[in-house]
Structure 1
Amino acid sequence: MQTRRIGLLWLVLAFSSLHFLWSAPAWPDRGELRSIERSIQQRRARWRAGETTMSRLSPEERRGRLGLTRVRSRAAVTASDSEIPQVGAQDLPGRIDWRHHLGANWVTPVKDQGACGSCWAFATIAAMESTMAISASNPTLRPDLSEQFLLSCSPGTCAGYWLGPTLAFLQSTGTVDENCLPYAETDTLPCSDQCRTWQQRLKKIASWSYVPNTVTAIRAALNEGPLATTLDVYTDFFYYTGGVYEHIWGDWVGAHAVLLVGCDEIEHAWIAKNSWGPGWGDEGYLKIRRGDSAFG
């Protein structure tokens, strides 16, 4: 079974070689939260910070929950010929949210990648799941596809991978349902552990494409369905509990992949689904200020 185009919001991230040195305090570090809360007040930022399931982890454990590798050349992976909608900003709705589109939720539940840098798998699988429901014009369709298939059968690992090659794999090979190869939070599970009927249960995407990094192009593609995308993560991001996030405190930690599910023109914000479970953010979701953290 093939589904229609999955859009990929391609953002060029600037990476630097960073070395993280610290004396190992007991975690969570209460000083971090106090510093972030003080910075939010001083900057009059529009988001709230608090203890989350992610803030309670050590710096090493936090980095292990990211998993987006360095940007690869677009020439290394060629996108398929999926068309990007050509519309003007005036023709687009001021607010898009696929959790509340036409009175229905087209986004599958928030998942938890656990102690594995598999965000690249969760973001692309989440986009594929939503696209299946949209293609079927059936918001009650709740496909649950296997991220573990990508970890076990594609080149990606818990150390990270990139979105373009993952989407190319989903087009050429596909993935099975969760019951056929359940998530094991590891890249050491062999591909042969999948169910006997895996070939009959494969789902593939028909095509995918890069979306130009302009607000109008992103909104136009988003109006067709959720998009897999990336962002830079800083220390304060682990403490996010709600509001419109913008980076205000802490060092760059790494790059991360999420699912873009909406935008709000009044708040000048993007809306995204993360893969850190409901104990982080706004029940697993976030709003992020447009132009912040190399997101959009």
Structure 2
Amino acid sequence: MNLLITALSLFVIGLAHGSDELYYIEPLSDMMIHHINEKLNTTWTAGRTKFYDWSMVSIKRQLGVPLDHINQVTADLPIVNHLVDRDIPDEFDSRQAWPDCPTIKEVRDQGNCGSCWAISAVEAMSDRICVATQGKLNRHLSTEDLLSCCKTCGFGCNGGYPAAAWEYFKRSGVCTGGNYKSNEGCKPYSIEDCEHHGSGQRPPCQGESKTPKCTKECSNSDYTVAYDNDKSRGQSVYSVKSEQQIQLELMKNGPVQTAFTVYEDFLSYTSGVYQHKKGNQLGGHAVKLIGWGVEDGVKYWLLANSWNYDWGLEGMFKVLRGKDECGIERNVVAGSINPV
């Protein structure tokens, strides 16, 4: 009884003093939106997002990096330290730095599959092929090939490991493949885009998609290059750890992959520079980091998600920079490219 009275007293004190730590707010609720926008002194705006029509089970399935792995993403990788041989600008956007590389601008859709670990990996790999060849070679690498054929990468649509994806790219290579129904490349993505709003034209993002079966041949019958001849490969796999080193890596070699912990408040992100303020951990998520900047005096990283263009900032989002927010800076994975 005394413990109950103490707990109730702390709750009342918390309300009186405006504390946001002593009581739980349901995610995907108007109360969460109001709390973030009106009660907290933060750098981002909450609103009703596509996730407000989803079940929590389906949302968690989108988070394809196992939470127990999120702090070990780069544990076994060598760390690259670049010579600081140039000035680092206040703002940098890979889309503007390499305008002849169309994959940098792209936002993919993982559908009902926890394939973020594969999508963000092949996105960065594709970008780096273009950057390494100064825009002369554009290859849209296949999520499908990496997702289905890398048996050491994890569990396919049930999640995987970003560093292992780059090791597979170095060891076995990845073929080309466009998005769902694109009929582009050797292995287009076979998991259909799903709808992020209840009244849209795509099927709802509920339930589960099975991991596609690995095949050692092209699934696109119109594609004329043999599967083995269509592969691109990496030369090295590494991590970069500090804010400055990540910036230098981006300027020198192009976008990188990273992973971070997703909390319940992230589901309400609509704009601004995200930093975790409220809610419990939901899972780990992998994305592509393409640049940085400053907004209203707040430093941020610019990242591409894999939830289509109707989420966040047309598929992009910003995260607080320089504070390792949600692990965003400790989990950077990249590699050099063998474009031949």
If the TM-score is normalised by the length of the shorter chain, which range does it land in? 0.7 to 0.9
Correspondence for 1:199 among 228, 239, 260:
228
1:109-147 CA-to-partner distances (Å, cap 9, x unmatched) read 1000111111110111011111111112118x6432111
2:23 corresponds in structure 1 to none
Return the letter of the residue paired with 1:273.
A
Q: Is the 8 A contact 1:108 1:142 kept in 2?
A: no
**1:117 and 2:146 correspond:** no
Scaled by the length of structure 1, the TM-score of the pair is 0.80
How far the C-alpha of 1:187 sits from its partner, in A, is 1.3
1:191-228 CA-to-partner distances (Å, cap 9, x unmatched) read 2463481011011112221112x211221112221110
Q: Which moved more, 1:63-72 or 1:200-209?
A: 63-72
| Number of equivalences | 263
SS at match of 1:272: strand
Q: Is the 8 A contact 2:217 2:227 kept in 1?
A: no
Correspondence for 2:44 among 43, 47, 52:
47
Query: What is the identity percentage for the equivalent residue pairs of Structure 1 and Structure 2?
Result: 28
Higher CA-based Rg: 2
**1:146 and 2:142 correspond:** yes
Shift of the 97–33 alpha-carbon distance from structure 1 to 2, 3 Å rule, reads: farther
**1:85 and 2:109 correspond:** no
Q: Which moved more, 1:202-211 or 1:47-56?
A: 47-56
Superposition CA RMSD, Å:
2.6
Shift of the 31–181 alpha-carbon distance from structure 1 to 2, 3 Å rule, reads: closer
Scaled by the length of structure 2, the TM-score of the pair is 0.70
SS at match of 1:100: helix
Q: Which runs of 5+ in 1 are unaligned?
A: 1-28
**1:217 and 2:245 correspond:** yes
Correspondence for 2:187 among 156, 181, 185:
181
Say which structure, 1 or 2, has more relative contact order (CA 8 Å, 6+ apart).
1
Return the letter of the residue paired with 2:133.
A
Shift of the 55–105 alpha-carbon distance from structure 1 to 2, 3 Å rule, reads: farther
1:37-63 CA-to-partner distances (Å, cap 9, x unmatched) read 322322232222222223321110000
2:203 corresponds in structure 1 to none
Give 1 or 2: higher helix fraction.
2
Return the letter of the residue paired with 1:169.
Y
2:282 corresponds in structure 1 to 253
Shift of the 42–104 alpha-carbon distance from structure 1 to 2, 3 Å rule, reads: farther
How far the C-alpha of 1:102 sits from its partner, in A, is 6.1
2:169 corresponds in structure 1 to 170
